[in-house]
Amino acid sequence: MTSTDTKTASERITEEVCSWPGVSAGPGRRGEFAFKVGHREIGHLHGDHAAHYFFPQEEWAALKEEGRIVPHPVFPDRRGPAARRIEDEADIADAIALMRMNYDRILAGHGLPAEPSAGPPLPA
């Protein structure tokens, strides 16, 4: 039995996504578990069964046509908000890949956020 056999989907996704430089993760305001780069969200999980994202409209349309996402259940008529069901190994891998797409886009446009400072310098 490997370690991946004993970890849940959300644990495996969290472990991978949090290994990327600049990513923070934690509970959100609506019961989700969100992944962020600085203040920009790259996606969030609802337990082990669903991942939600936001994509630019053209990218959203291409991903939907490929069958990789469906419209977000709260915003079914909007292009951008997206959902991905997580049921098997392929879904886990794709949930991570979709977060990586958002991560790479954020870094390309904004770079890594500055490390939080330890506070103002002490007087000499």
Range of 77's domain? 1-30+71-112
Residue 105's contacts (CB-CB under 8 Å, 6 or more residues apart) are 56
Domain membership of residue 58 (yes or no) is no
Domain membership of residue 8 (yes or no) is yes
Q: Is the whole model's pTM more than 0.75, yes or no?
A: yes
Residue of 42, 52, 48 whose CA lies nearest to 17: 42
Instruction: Give me the pLDDT at residue 29, please.
Output: 84
Q: What percent of the chain has pLDDT above 70?
A: 88
In the predicted model, is pLDDT for residue 104 greater than 70?
yes
Domain membership of residue 120 (yes or no) is no
98, 43 contact by CB (below 8 A): yes
Per the structure, the count of domains in the chain is: 1
State the average pLDDT for the chain: 89
Domain membership of residue 104 (yes or no) is yes
Q: How far apart are the first and last CA of the chain?
A: 58
pLDDT grade for 4, boundaries at 50, 70 and 90:
low
Domain membership of residue 99 (yes or no) is yes
Domain membership of residue 64 (yes or no) is no
